[in-house]
Chain A
Amino acid sequence: MSRLVAAVVVALVVPAAAGAQPGVGVKAKTGKGLYAANCLSCHGVDGSGVTSDTQPRGVLDLRGLGPPLKGVGALAADFYLTTGYMPLQNPHDQPRHTKSPFDKREIAALVAYVATFGKGPGVPHPQPERGEVSRGLSLFTEHCAGCHQIVAEGGYVTNAVAPPLHQATPVQIAEAVRLGPYLMPRFPTSQISDAQLDSIIAYVQYAKHPDDRGGWSIGRIGPVPEGLVAWLIAAAALVGCCLVIGRRFQR
Protein backbone atom coordinates (compact mmCIF):
# COMPACT_ATOMS: atom_id res chain seq x y z
CA MET A 1 0.00 0.00 0.00
CA SER A 2 2.82 2.38 0.87
CA ARG A 3 4.31 1.76 -2.60
CA LEU A 4 1.01 2.64 -4.19
CA VAL A 5 0.75 5.86 -2.24
CA ALA A 6 4.33 6.64 -3.19
CA ALA A 7 3.53 6.02 -6.85
CA VAL A 8 0.53 8.36 -6.74
CA VAL A 9 2.60 11.01 -5.00
CA VAL A 10 5.28 10.68 -7.67
CA ALA A 11 2.65 10.91 -10.39
CA LEU A 12 1.26 14.12 -8.96
CA VAL A 13 4.48 15.80 -7.89
CA VAL A 14 7.02 14.90 -10.57
CA PRO A 15 5.01 16.30 -13.51
CA ALA A 16 4.78 19.65 -11.79
CA ALA A 17 8.55 19.63 -11.44
CA ALA A 18 8.98 18.84 -15.13
CA GLY A 19 7.46 22.22 -15.98
CA ALA A 20 6.31 22.84 -19.57
CA GLN A 21 5.92 19.16 -20.44
CA PRO A 22 4.02 17.58 -17.57
CA GLY A 23 4.20 13.83 -17.46
CA VAL A 24 6.27 13.24 -20.60
CA GLY A 25 9.64 11.57 -20.56
CA VAL A 26 10.22 11.77 -16.83
CA LYS A 27 13.23 9.64 -15.96
CA ALA A 28 13.27 6.88 -13.36
CA LYS A 29 15.38 3.86 -12.63
CA THR A 30 12.86 1.03 -12.82
CA GLY A 31 9.99 0.18 -15.14
CA LYS A 32 7.59 0.73 -12.30
CA GLY A 33 9.04 4.14 -11.56
CA LEU A 34 8.83 5.12 -15.23
CA TYR A 35 5.23 3.91 -15.36
CA ALA A 36 4.28 5.85 -12.28
CA ALA A 37 5.88 9.02 -13.60
CA ASN A 38 4.73 8.90 -17.22
CA CYS A 39 1.77 6.56 -17.66
CA LEU A 40 -0.17 6.24 -14.43
CA SER A 41 -2.19 9.45 -14.71
CA CYS A 42 -4.07 8.03 -17.70
CA HIS A 43 -3.69 4.26 -17.48
CA GLY A 44 -4.28 4.01 -13.77
CA VAL A 45 -2.62 2.03 -11.01
CA ASP A 46 -1.32 -1.34 -12.26
CA GLY A 47 -2.80 -0.68 -15.70
CA SER A 48 -6.38 -0.57 -14.46
CA GLY A 49 -7.19 2.27 -16.85
CA VAL A 50 -9.06 5.53 -16.36
CA THR A 51 -12.23 4.72 -18.24
CA SER A 52 -15.52 6.54 -18.46
CA ASP A 53 -17.06 4.28 -15.82
CA THR A 54 -14.26 5.06 -13.37
CA GLN A 55 -15.39 7.26 -10.52
CA PRO A 56 -14.28 10.88 -10.94
CA ARG A 57 -11.29 11.62 -8.78
CA GLY A 58 -10.29 14.73 -6.94
CA VAL A 59 -10.48 18.25 -8.21
CA LEU A 60 -9.36 17.35 -11.74
CA ASP A 61 -12.33 14.98 -12.29
CA LEU A 62 -10.25 12.64 -14.38
CA ARG A 63 -12.37 10.27 -16.43
CA GLY A 64 -11.99 8.60 -19.80
CA LEU A 65 -8.28 9.28 -20.18
CA GLY A 66 -6.77 5.92 -21.04
CA PRO A 67 -7.68 2.28 -21.54
CA PRO A 68 -6.77 -0.46 -19.06
CA LEU A 69 -3.50 -2.24 -19.88
CA LYS A 70 -4.26 -5.58 -18.24
CA GLY A 71 -3.54 -8.32 -20.75
CA VAL A 72 -2.29 -6.08 -23.57
CA GLY A 73 1.11 -7.72 -23.19
CA ALA A 74 4.56 -6.70 -24.29
CA LEU A 75 3.39 -6.42 -27.91
CA ALA A 76 1.23 -3.34 -27.36
CA ALA A 77 3.66 -1.70 -24.93
CA ASP A 78 6.58 -2.20 -27.32
CA PHE A 79 4.62 -0.76 -30.26
CA TYR A 80 3.32 2.33 -28.49
CA LEU A 81 6.64 3.13 -26.82
CA THR A 82 9.09 2.48 -29.69
CA THR A 83 6.96 4.52 -32.11
CA GLY A 84 6.74 7.36 -29.63
CA TYR A 85 2.91 7.12 -29.75
CA MET A 86 3.03 7.08 -25.97
CA PRO A 87 3.42 9.00 -23.74
CA LEU A 88 0.72 11.24 -25.22
CA GLN A 89 0.38 14.85 -24.06
CA ASN A 90 -3.38 15.11 -24.56
CA PRO A 91 -5.39 11.88 -24.59
CA HIS A 92 -7.79 13.41 -27.14
CA ASP A 93 -5.00 13.82 -29.73
CA GLN A 94 -4.15 11.24 -32.34
CA PRO A 95 -0.83 9.63 -31.37
CA ARG A 96 1.86 10.21 -34.01
CA HIS A 97 5.20 8.68 -34.82
CA THR A 98 7.72 10.75 -32.88
CA LYS A 99 11.04 10.19 -31.25
CA SER A 100 10.47 8.48 -27.94
CA PRO A 101 11.59 10.45 -24.89
CA PHE A 102 12.91 7.17 -23.46
CA ASP A 103 16.11 5.37 -24.37
CA LYS A 104 16.21 1.69 -25.27
CA ARG A 105 16.87 0.52 -21.75
CA GLU A 106 13.99 2.54 -20.34
CA ILE A 107 11.62 1.25 -23.01
CA ALA A 108 12.65 -2.34 -22.28
CA ALA A 109 12.04 -1.76 -18.56
CA LEU A 110 8.61 -0.23 -19.20
CA VAL A 111 7.61 -2.98 -21.63
CA ALA A 112 8.62 -5.62 -19.12
CA TYR A 113 6.64 -3.84 -16.41
CA VAL A 114 3.47 -3.46 -18.51
CA ALA A 115 3.72 -7.15 -19.47
CA THR A 116 3.38 -8.06 -15.79
CA PHE A 117 -0.17 -6.59 -15.63
CA GLY A 118 -1.64 -9.72 -17.18
CA LYS A 119 -0.99 -12.50 -19.63
CA GLY A 120 -0.76 -11.04 -23.12
CA PRO A 121 0.97 -11.44 -26.46
CA GLY A 122 4.73 -10.99 -26.58
CA VAL A 123 6.77 -8.92 -29.03
CA PRO A 124 6.51 -10.63 -32.44
CA HIS A 125 9.54 -11.65 -34.51
CA PRO A 126 8.63 -11.18 -38.16
CA GLN A 127 10.96 -12.52 -40.86
CA PRO A 128 10.37 -10.34 -43.92
CA GLU A 129 13.28 -12.00 -45.72
CA ARG A 130 11.07 -15.09 -45.94
CA GLY A 131 8.22 -13.12 -47.53
CA GLU A 132 7.57 -12.42 -51.19
CA VAL A 133 7.29 -8.82 -52.35
CA SER A 134 4.75 -9.61 -55.09
CA ARG A 135 2.51 -11.55 -52.71
CA GLY A 136 2.94 -8.76 -50.19
CA LEU A 137 1.77 -6.27 -52.78
CA SER A 138 -1.50 -8.10 -53.39
CA LEU A 139 -2.08 -8.62 -49.65
CA PHE A 140 -1.21 -5.00 -48.91
CA THR A 141 -3.64 -3.95 -51.65
CA GLU A 142 -6.38 -6.04 -50.11
CA HIS A 143 -5.95 -5.24 -46.43
CA CYS A 144 -3.91 -2.05 -46.02
CA ALA A 145 -3.93 0.16 -49.11
CA GLY A 146 -7.48 1.42 -48.48
CA CYS A 147 -6.07 3.68 -45.77
CA HIS A 148 -2.27 3.66 -46.15
CA GLN A 149 -2.27 4.00 -49.98
CA ILE A 150 -0.68 1.48 -52.27
CA VAL A 151 2.86 2.80 -51.76
CA ALA A 152 2.41 3.09 -47.97
CA GLU A 153 2.52 6.90 -48.15
CA GLY A 154 -0.38 7.12 -45.70
CA GLY A 155 -3.71 8.81 -46.19
CA TYR A 156 -6.84 9.82 -44.38
CA VAL A 157 -9.86 8.31 -42.79
CA THR A 158 -12.68 10.55 -41.61
CA ASN A 159 -11.46 12.43 -38.49
CA ALA A 160 -7.96 10.95 -38.51
CA VAL A 161 -4.73 10.43 -40.41
CA ALA A 162 -3.56 7.02 -41.60
CA PRO A 163 0.18 7.42 -41.04
CA PRO A 164 2.84 6.87 -43.73
CA LEU A 165 4.91 3.76 -43.06
CA HIS A 166 8.38 5.13 -43.94
CA GLN A 167 9.62 5.02 -40.38
CA ALA A 168 7.92 1.78 -39.40
CA THR A 169 10.26 -1.09 -38.59
CA PRO A 170 9.30 -4.69 -39.43
CA VAL A 171 8.55 -5.39 -35.78
CA GLN A 172 6.35 -2.29 -35.49
CA ILE A 173 4.41 -3.26 -38.64
CA ALA A 174 3.82 -6.77 -37.28
CA GLU A 175 2.70 -5.30 -33.96
CA ALA A 176 0.35 -2.78 -35.58
CA VAL A 177 -1.34 -5.44 -37.73
CA ARG A 178 -2.12 -7.61 -34.71
CA LEU A 179 -2.91 -4.70 -32.41
CA GLY A 180 -4.86 -2.18 -34.51
CA PRO A 181 -3.50 0.99 -32.87
CA TYR A 182 -5.79 4.02 -32.54
CA LEU A 183 -8.48 3.74 -35.27
CA MET A 184 -6.88 0.93 -37.28
CA PRO A 185 -8.71 -2.40 -37.31
CA ARG A 186 -7.04 -5.43 -35.82
CA PHE A 187 -6.06 -8.30 -38.15
CA PRO A 188 -5.98 -11.63 -36.32
CA THR A 189 -4.11 -14.63 -37.75
CA SER A 190 -7.36 -15.91 -39.24
CA GLN A 191 -7.32 -12.86 -41.54
CA ILE A 192 -3.56 -12.43 -42.10
CA SER A 193 -1.34 -15.40 -41.26
CA ASP A 194 2.20 -14.91 -39.94
CA ALA A 195 3.62 -15.98 -43.32
CA GLN A 196 1.39 -13.48 -45.13
CA LEU A 197 2.48 -10.84 -42.65
CA ASP A 198 6.12 -11.50 -43.58
CA SER A 199 5.24 -10.83 -47.23
CA ILE A 200 3.37 -7.63 -46.34
CA ILE A 201 6.36 -6.38 -44.36
CA ALA A 202 8.69 -7.29 -47.24
CA TYR A 203 6.50 -5.21 -49.54
CA VAL A 204 6.38 -2.22 -47.15
CA GLN A 205 10.17 -2.34 -46.87
CA TYR A 206 10.36 -2.39 -50.68
CA ALA A 207 7.87 0.47 -51.01
CA LYS A 208 10.18 2.76 -49.01
CA HIS A 209 12.63 2.73 -51.91
CA PRO A 210 10.71 1.54 -54.94
CA ASP A 211 12.32 0.95 -58.29
CA ASP A 212 11.11 4.01 -60.21
CA ARG A 213 10.74 3.30 -63.89
CA GLY A 214 11.57 6.80 -65.04
CA GLY A 215 9.61 10.01 -65.05
CA TRP A 216 9.12 12.16 -62.00
CA SER A 217 7.92 10.25 -58.96
CA ILE A 218 6.26 13.42 -57.51
CA GLY A 219 5.84 11.90 -54.09
CA ARG A 220 4.54 8.66 -55.62
CA ILE A 221 1.04 9.53 -54.53
CA GLY A 222 -0.82 9.04 -57.77
CA PRO A 223 -2.67 11.13 -60.31
CA VAL A 224 -3.48 14.23 -58.26
CA PRO A 225 0.02 15.77 -58.12
CA GLU A 226 0.71 14.49 -61.64
CA GLY A 227 -2.47 16.20 -62.82
CA LEU A 228 -1.44 19.43 -61.08
CA VAL A 229 1.92 19.40 -62.84
CA ALA A 230 0.19 18.72 -66.15
CA TRP A 231 -2.17 21.63 -65.53
CA LEU A 232 0.78 23.89 -64.72
CA ILE A 233 2.55 23.00 -67.97
CA ALA A 234 -0.68 23.23 -69.97
CA ALA A 235 -1.56 26.58 -68.38
CA ALA A 236 1.87 27.99 -69.32
CA ALA A 237 1.43 26.74 -72.89
CA LEU A 238 -2.07 28.23 -73.09
CA VAL A 239 -0.87 31.60 -71.82
CA GLY A 240 1.82 31.46 -74.50
CA CYS A 241 -0.82 30.75 -77.16
CA CYS A 242 -2.93 33.65 -75.91
CA LEU A 243 0.07 35.98 -76.22
CA VAL A 244 0.64 34.87 -79.83
CA ILE A 245 -3.04 35.23 -80.70
CA GLY A 246 -3.34 38.61 -79.01
CA ARG A 247 -0.24 40.11 -80.69
CA ARG A 248 -1.05 42.94 -83.10
CA PHE A 249 -0.74 41.73 -86.66
CA GLN A 250 2.16 43.41 -88.47
CA ARG A 251 1.70 44.08 -92.16
Chain B
Amino acid sequence: MSALRRWAIALGVLFLGRKQRRPRFADRPRIVPPGEPDPRAEWLVLGLLLCAAAAAAGFIAVYSFNHLAHQTQYLGLALGLAFAFVAAALIVVARRLVVTEELEEDYPLPGHPTTQEELEQLVTESGDRFTRQRLLLAGAGAAAGAIGAALVVPALSLGPFLDTDAFYETPWRRGVRLVDEHGKPFLLDEIERETFYTAYAEGADKEQLGSPLVVVRFQPAQLDLPAERRDWAPEGVVAYSKICTHAGCAIALFRKPTFPPVEPGPALICPCHYSTFDPTRAAKVIFGPAGRPLPQLPLFLNRENGELAAAGNFSGPVGPSWWGVRSRRPRNPS
Protein backbone atom coordinates (compact mmCIF):
# COMPACT_ATOMS: atom_id res chain seq x y z
CA MET B 1 0.00 0.00 0.00
CA SER B 2 2.75 2.40 0.95
CA ALA B 3 4.61 1.44 -2.22
CA LEU B 4 1.50 2.34 -4.20
CA ARG B 5 1.30 5.73 -2.50
CA ARG B 6 4.96 6.41 -3.19
CA TRP B 7 4.43 5.56 -6.86
CA ALA B 8 1.40 7.84 -7.03
CA ILE B 9 3.34 10.71 -5.47
CA ALA B 10 6.27 10.07 -7.81
CA LEU B 11 3.96 10.15 -10.84
CA GLY B 12 2.25 13.25 -9.54
CA VAL B 13 5.55 15.02 -9.11
CA LEU B 14 6.69 13.81 -12.52
CA PHE B 15 3.64 15.11 -14.33
CA LEU B 16 2.41 18.00 -12.21
CA GLY B 17 5.66 19.37 -10.85
CA ARG B 18 6.81 22.51 -12.54
CA LYS B 19 10.04 21.96 -14.38
CA GLN B 20 13.10 23.49 -12.79
CA ARG B 21 14.44 25.51 -15.64
CA ARG B 22 18.02 24.79 -16.48
CA PRO B 23 18.73 27.67 -18.83
CA ARG B 24 20.71 26.20 -21.67
CA PHE B 25 21.56 29.39 -23.46
CA ALA B 26 21.71 31.59 -20.34
CA ASP B 27 25.25 32.75 -21.12
CA ARG B 28 24.14 34.25 -24.39
CA PRO B 29 22.04 37.33 -25.14
CA ARG B 30 18.43 36.39 -25.82
CA ILE B 31 17.15 36.44 -29.38
CA VAL B 32 13.48 35.97 -28.59
CA PRO B 33 11.98 38.41 -26.10
CA PRO B 34 10.97 36.70 -22.85
CA GLY B 35 7.31 35.84 -22.35
CA GLU B 36 5.13 35.42 -19.31
CA PRO B 37 4.18 31.84 -18.32
CA ASP B 38 0.47 31.12 -18.80
CA PRO B 39 -0.49 28.17 -16.55
CA ARG B 40 -4.23 28.45 -17.37
CA ALA B 41 -3.57 28.09 -21.09
CA GLU B 42 -1.47 25.03 -20.34
CA TRP B 43 -4.33 23.42 -18.44
CA LEU B 44 -6.64 24.28 -21.33
CA VAL B 45 -4.27 22.60 -23.81
CA LEU B 46 -4.03 19.54 -21.60
CA GLY B 47 -7.82 19.38 -21.28
CA LEU B 48 -8.26 19.65 -25.06
CA LEU B 49 -5.68 16.91 -25.69
CA LEU B 50 -7.39 14.61 -23.20
CA CYS B 51 -10.75 15.35 -24.86
CA ALA B 52 -9.17 14.36 -28.20
CA ALA B 53 -7.95 11.12 -26.65
CA ALA B 54 -11.40 10.48 -25.19
CA ALA B 55 -13.08 11.12 -28.56
CA ALA B 56 -10.67 8.71 -30.28
CA ALA B 57 -11.34 6.12 -27.59
CA GLY B 58 -15.05 6.71 -28.24
CA PHE B 59 -14.44 5.90 -31.92
CA ILE B 60 -12.95 2.54 -30.93
CA ALA B 61 -15.83 1.89 -28.56
CA VAL B 62 -18.46 2.68 -31.23
CA TYR B 63 -16.56 0.58 -33.76
CA SER B 64 -16.55 -2.42 -31.46
CA PHE B 65 -20.36 -2.59 -31.46
CA ASN B 66 -21.79 -4.99 -34.02
CA HIS B 67 -25.26 -3.53 -34.38
CA LEU B 68 -25.72 0.10 -33.52
CA ALA B 69 -28.17 2.52 -35.10
CA HIS B 70 -26.45 5.39 -36.96
CA GLN B 71 -23.07 3.78 -36.33
CA THR B 72 -21.38 5.43 -39.31
CA GLN B 73 -22.51 8.87 -38.17
CA TYR B 74 -21.25 8.25 -34.64
CA LEU B 75 -17.92 7.04 -36.02
CA GLY B 76 -17.55 10.17 -38.11
CA LEU B 77 -18.56 12.35 -35.18
CA ALA B 78 -16.04 10.72 -32.83
CA LEU B 79 -13.14 10.94 -35.26
CA GLY B 80 -14.09 14.48 -36.28
CA LEU B 81 -14.25 15.58 -32.65
CA ALA B 82 -10.85 14.00 -31.96
CA PHE B 83 -9.22 15.97 -34.78
CA ALA B 84 -11.13 19.14 -33.83
CA PHE B 85 -9.86 18.92 -30.24
CA VAL B 86 -6.29 18.40 -31.46
CA ALA B 87 -6.65 21.39 -33.76
CA ALA B 88 -8.06 23.50 -30.89
CA ALA B 89 -5.15 22.48 -28.64
CA LEU B 90 -2.63 23.46 -31.32
CA ILE B 91 -4.36 26.79 -31.85
CA VAL B 92 -4.21 27.56 -28.11
CA VAL B 93 -0.52 26.60 -28.06
CA ALA B 94 0.23 28.84 -31.00
CA ARG B 95 -1.78 31.82 -29.79
CA ARG B 96 -1.09 31.78 -26.06
CA LEU B 97 1.97 29.67 -25.25
CA VAL B 98 4.60 30.15 -27.94
CA VAL B 99 6.43 33.48 -27.70
CA THR B 100 5.53 35.49 -30.76
CA GLU B 101 7.20 38.57 -32.13
CA GLU B 102 6.89 40.56 -35.29
CA LEU B 103 9.99 41.21 -37.36
CA GLU B 104 10.64 43.42 -40.35
CA GLU B 105 12.94 40.83 -41.93
CA ASP B 106 12.96 37.05 -41.89
CA TYR B 107 15.51 35.20 -39.79
CA PRO B 108 18.52 34.16 -41.95
CA LEU B 109 18.35 30.62 -43.23
CA PRO B 110 20.38 28.22 -41.05
CA GLY B 111 23.40 26.75 -42.79
CA HIS B 112 26.42 27.34 -40.60
CA PRO B 113 27.00 25.51 -37.25
CA THR B 114 26.62 28.77 -35.32
CA THR B 115 23.34 29.65 -37.02
CA GLN B 116 22.26 26.09 -36.32
CA GLU B 117 22.85 26.78 -32.65
CA GLU B 118 21.01 30.05 -32.92
CA LEU B 119 18.04 28.20 -34.33
CA GLU B 120 18.10 25.80 -31.39
CA GLN B 121 18.25 28.79 -29.08
CA LEU B 122 15.28 30.31 -30.89
CA VAL B 123 13.22 27.19 -30.50
CA THR B 124 14.17 26.74 -26.86
CA GLU B 125 13.45 30.35 -25.98
CA SER B 126 10.14 30.28 -27.85
CA GLY B 127 9.10 27.49 -25.49
CA ASP B 128 9.98 29.58 -22.43
CA ARG B 129 6.40 30.08 -21.43
CA PHE B 130 5.77 26.36 -20.93
CA THR B 131 5.99 25.39 -17.28
CA ARG B 132 4.66 21.81 -17.40
CA GLN B 133 6.34 20.37 -20.45
CA ARG B 134 6.24 16.73 -19.44
CA LEU B 135 2.58 16.87 -18.51
CA LEU B 136 1.68 18.44 -21.84
CA LEU B 137 3.86 15.91 -23.66
CA ALA B 138 2.04 13.11 -21.86
CA GLY B 139 -1.30 14.65 -22.90
CA ALA B 140 -0.11 14.92 -26.50
CA GLY B 141 1.09 11.32 -26.33
CA ALA B 142 -2.29 10.18 -25.04
CA ALA B 143 -4.10 12.01 -27.84
CA ALA B 144 -1.72 10.72 -30.53
CA GLY B 145 -1.88 7.17 -29.18
CA ALA B 146 -5.66 7.11 -29.00
CA ILE B 147 -6.10 8.61 -32.48
CA GLY B 148 -3.49 6.22 -33.87
CA ALA B 149 -5.31 3.28 -32.32
CA ALA B 150 -8.64 4.57 -33.68
CA LEU B 151 -7.13 4.62 -37.19
CA VAL B 152 -5.65 1.13 -36.88
CA VAL B 153 -8.59 -0.63 -35.21
CA PRO B 154 -10.76 -0.84 -38.39
CA ALA B 155 -8.03 -3.00 -39.95
CA LEU B 156 -9.30 -5.79 -37.69
CA SER B 157 -12.32 -6.00 -40.00
CA LEU B 158 -10.11 -7.03 -42.92
CA GLY B 159 -10.40 -10.62 -41.78
CA PRO B 160 -10.15 -12.80 -38.74
CA PHE B 161 -6.61 -13.81 -37.94
CA LEU B 162 -6.85 -15.36 -34.48
CA ASP B 163 -9.61 -17.92 -34.88
CA THR B 164 -9.93 -18.98 -38.52
CA ASP B 165 -10.63 -22.67 -38.09
CA ALA B 166 -14.36 -22.33 -38.75
CA PHE B 167 -13.58 -20.97 -42.20
CA TYR B 168 -12.00 -24.22 -43.28
CA GLU B 169 -15.05 -26.28 -42.45
CA THR B 170 -17.51 -26.95 -45.25
CA PRO B 171 -20.65 -29.06 -45.13
CA TRP B 172 -19.61 -30.98 -48.26
CA ARG B 173 -18.43 -34.55 -48.16
CA ARG B 174 -19.02 -37.59 -50.34
CA GLY B 175 -22.75 -38.24 -50.74
CA VAL B 176 -24.14 -34.83 -49.68
CA ARG B 177 -26.85 -33.94 -52.21
CA LEU B 178 -27.14 -30.63 -54.05
CA VAL B 179 -30.45 -28.90 -53.25
CA ASP B 180 -32.02 -25.64 -54.38
CA GLU B 181 -33.06 -22.81 -52.07
CA HIS B 182 -36.28 -24.67 -51.20
CA GLY B 183 -34.42 -27.86 -50.30
CA LYS B 184 -35.40 -29.75 -53.46
CA PRO B 185 -32.62 -32.02 -54.81
CA PHE B 186 -31.12 -31.11 -58.18
CA LEU B 187 -31.83 -33.62 -60.93
CA LEU B 188 -29.47 -33.85 -63.87
CA ASP B 189 -32.35 -33.67 -66.36
CA GLU B 190 -33.56 -30.37 -64.92
CA ILE B 191 -30.22 -28.66 -65.37
CA GLU B 192 -30.17 -26.87 -68.69
CA ARG B 193 -27.25 -25.47 -70.62
CA GLU B 194 -26.61 -21.77 -71.23
CA THR B 195 -27.87 -20.79 -67.80
CA PHE B 196 -26.63 -21.12 -64.23
CA TYR B 197 -28.02 -22.34 -60.93
CA THR B 198 -27.34 -21.79 -57.25
CA ALA B 199 -27.18 -24.96 -55.16
CA TYR B 200 -26.70 -25.59 -51.45
CA ALA B 201 -25.56 -28.55 -49.36
CA GLU B 202 -28.51 -30.62 -48.16
CA GLY B 203 -29.20 -30.09 -44.48
CA ALA B 204 -26.61 -27.32 -44.07
CA ASP B 205 -27.05 -23.70 -43.12
CA LYS B 206 -27.42 -21.71 -46.37
CA GLU B 207 -25.61 -18.79 -44.77
CA GLN B 208 -22.51 -20.86 -44.15
CA LEU B 209 -19.67 -19.70 -46.36
CA GLY B 210 -18.89 -23.17 -47.67
CA SER B 211 -22.45 -24.13 -48.61
CA PRO B 212 -23.52 -22.22 -51.77
CA LEU B 213 -22.44 -23.44 -55.20
CA VAL B 214 -22.77 -22.08 -58.67
CA VAL B 215 -23.71 -24.91 -61.03
CA VAL B 216 -23.33 -24.74 -64.81
CA ARG B 217 -23.85 -27.38 -67.46
CA PHE B 218 -21.74 -27.61 -70.61
CA GLN B 219 -21.30 -30.07 -73.40
CA PRO B 220 -18.70 -32.48 -71.97
CA ALA B 221 -16.46 -31.72 -74.98
CA GLN B 222 -16.45 -28.01 -74.06
CA LEU B 223 -14.78 -28.70 -70.72
CA ASP B 224 -11.02 -28.55 -70.35
CA LEU B 225 -10.44 -29.71 -66.77
CA PRO B 226 -7.07 -30.90 -65.40
CA ALA B 227 -6.51 -34.66 -65.73
CA GLU B 228 -7.14 -35.39 -62.04
CA ARG B 229 -10.54 -33.66 -62.26
CA ARG B 230 -11.83 -35.60 -65.30
CA ASP B 231 -14.52 -37.36 -63.24
CA TRP B 232 -15.63 -34.26 -61.36
CA ALA B 233 -18.15 -33.11 -63.97
CA PRO B 234 -20.69 -35.87 -64.77
CA GLU B 235 -22.48 -35.14 -68.08
CA GLY B 236 -20.69 -31.79 -68.25
CA VAL B 237 -22.13 -30.37 -65.01
CA VAL B 238 -19.53 -28.39 -63.06
CA ALA B 239 -19.95 -26.93 -59.57
CA TYR B 240 -17.82 -24.22 -57.97
CA SER B 241 -18.04 -22.34 -54.70
CA LYS B 242 -20.29 -19.31 -55.21
CA ILE B 243 -18.08 -17.19 -52.96
CA CYS B 244 -15.49 -15.12 -54.82
CA THR B 245 -11.91 -15.82 -53.76
CA HIS B 246 -11.08 -12.12 -53.83
CA ALA B 247 -13.39 -10.34 -51.38
CA GLY B 248 -16.06 -12.92 -50.66
CA CYS B 249 -18.94 -11.55 -52.76
CA ALA B 250 -21.38 -13.94 -54.43
CA ILE B 251 -20.61 -14.91 -58.02
CA ALA B 252 -23.81 -13.46 -59.50
CA LEU B 253 -22.93 -13.04 -63.18
CA PHE B 254 -22.71 -15.70 -65.83
CA ARG B 255 -21.48 -14.75 -69.27
CA LYS B 256 -22.79 -17.09 -71.93
CA PRO B 257 -21.85 -16.62 -75.58
CA THR B 258 -24.71 -17.06 -78.01
CA PHE B 259 -22.30 -17.67 -80.88
CA PRO B 260 -18.81 -18.49 -79.51
CA PRO B 261 -16.76 -17.87 -82.71
CA VAL B 262 -17.31 -14.09 -82.53
CA GLU B 263 -18.11 -13.53 -78.85
CA PRO B 264 -16.19 -13.72 -75.54
CA GLY B 265 -16.18 -17.20 -74.00
CA PRO B 266 -18.23 -18.42 -71.05
CA ALA B 267 -17.30 -16.89 -67.69
CA LEU B 268 -18.41 -16.63 -64.10
CA ILE B 269 -18.05 -13.04 -62.91
CA CYS B 270 -18.16 -11.45 -59.48
CA PRO B 271 -20.10 -8.16 -59.61
CA CYS B 272 -18.01 -6.50 -56.89
CA HIS B 273 -14.64 -6.15 -58.63
CA TYR B 274 -15.17 -8.08 -61.86
CA SER B 275 -13.03 -11.07 -61.05
CA THR B 276 -13.70 -13.34 -64.02
CA PHE B 277 -13.35 -17.11 -63.93
CA ASP B 278 -13.50 -19.59 -66.81
CA PRO B 279 -15.88 -22.37 -65.75
CA THR B 280 -14.73 -24.66 -68.55
CA ARG B 281 -11.12 -24.57 -67.29
CA ALA B 282 -11.55 -25.29 -63.56
CA ALA B 283 -12.50 -21.64 -62.82
CA LYS B 284 -9.11 -20.29 -63.84
CA VAL B 285 -8.89 -16.53 -63.21
CA ILE B 286 -9.00 -14.81 -66.61
CA PHE B 287 -9.50 -11.24 -65.40
CA GLY B 288 -9.72 -9.21 -62.25
CA PRO B 289 -8.19 -9.07 -58.80
CA ALA B 290 -8.89 -12.63 -57.58
CA GLY B 291 -5.67 -14.43 -56.78
CA ARG B 292 -6.78 -18.02 -57.17
CA PRO B 293 -9.50 -20.03 -58.94
CA LEU B 294 -12.89 -20.72 -57.39
CA PRO B 295 -12.73 -23.98 -55.42
CA GLN B 296 -14.33 -26.76 -57.46
CA LEU B 297 -16.60 -29.36 -55.91
CA PRO B 298 -16.29 -32.87 -57.38
CA LEU B 299 -19.76 -34.08 -58.42
CA PHE B 300 -21.22 -37.54 -58.50
CA LEU B 301 -24.30 -38.56 -60.47
CA ASN B 302 -26.63 -41.12 -58.95
CA ARG B 303 -27.55 -43.06 -62.10
CA GLU B 304 -30.65 -44.57 -60.50
CA ASN B 305 -32.57 -41.41 -59.67
CA GLY B 306 -30.58 -38.79 -61.57
CA GLU B 307 -29.69 -36.81 -58.46
CA LEU B 308 -26.45 -34.88 -58.14
CA ALA B 309 -24.32 -35.19 -55.03
CA ALA B 310 -20.84 -34.22 -53.93
CA ALA B 311 -18.09 -36.76 -54.48
CA GLY B 312 -15.84 -35.14 -51.88
CA ASN B 313 -14.87 -31.76 -50.55
CA PHE B 314 -13.76 -28.64 -52.40
CA SER B 315 -10.45 -28.47 -54.26
CA GLY B 316 -9.29 -25.55 -52.10
CA PRO B 317 -10.28 -23.21 -49.27
CA VAL B 318 -13.62 -21.44 -49.72
CA GLY B 319 -14.05 -17.70 -49.45
CA PRO B 320 -11.86 -14.64 -49.68
CA SER B 321 -8.09 -14.93 -49.57
CA TRP B 322 -5.93 -13.41 -46.91
CA TRP B 323 -2.62 -14.30 -45.36
CA GLY B 324 -2.16 -18.02 -44.91
CA VAL B 325 -5.45 -19.11 -46.45
CA ARG B 326 -4.20 -20.25 -49.81
CA SER B 327 -2.34 -23.39 -48.91
CA ARG B 328 -4.76 -25.25 -46.65
CA ARG B 329 -7.39 -27.75 -47.72
CA PRO B 330 -10.93 -27.46 -46.33
CA ARG B 331 -12.15 -29.86 -43.66
CA ASN B 332 -15.32 -31.86 -43.25
CA PRO B 333 -17.56 -31.25 -40.25
CA SER B 334 -16.46 -33.46 -37.38
Contact = CB atoms under 8 A, between A and B. Distances in A.
B256 interface: yes
Interface in A150-206: 155-160, 180-188, 190-191
Given A157-B269, A158-B276, A188-B195, A183 B264 contact: yes
A52 interface: yes
Contact of A66 (B259, B269, B276): B259
Contact of A65 (B255, B262, B271): B262
Interface residues of A, number: 28
A185 B254 contact: yes
B192 A158 contact: no
Interface size class of B (residues with CB under 8 A): 20 to 34
A29 interface: no
B258 interface: yes
B256 A180 contact: yes
Contacts of A91: 262
Contacts of B276: 158
Contact of B274 (A92, A156, A185): A156
Nearest to B266: A183
B294 to A, nearest CB: 15
Interface string B251-276: 01111111101111001010100101
A146 B259 contact: no
A91 B151 CA distance: 53
Contacts of B262: 64-65, 91-92
Interface in B37-63: none
A116 interface: no
B261 A51 contact: yes
Contact of B253 (A157, A187, A188, A191): A157
A147 interface: yes
A30 B86 CA distance: 81
A57 B308 CA distance: 45
Contact of A158 (B196, B258, B261, B287): B287
B190 interface: yes
A183 B194 contact: no
Contacts of A180: 194-195, 256, 258
26 contacts: A51-B261, A65-B262, A67-B258, A146-B252, A146-B253, A147-B271, A156-B274, A157-B253, A157-B269, A157-B274, A158-B255, A158-B267, A158-B269, A158-B288, A159-B255, A180-B195, A180-B256, A181-B258, A182-B263, A185-B194, A185-B255, A186-B192, A188-B192, A190-B190, A191-B195, A191-B197
Interface of B: 190, 192, 194-197, 252-259, 261-264, 267, 269, 271, 274, 276, 286-288
Interface of A: 51-52, 63-67, 91-92, 146-147, 155-160, 180-188, 190-191
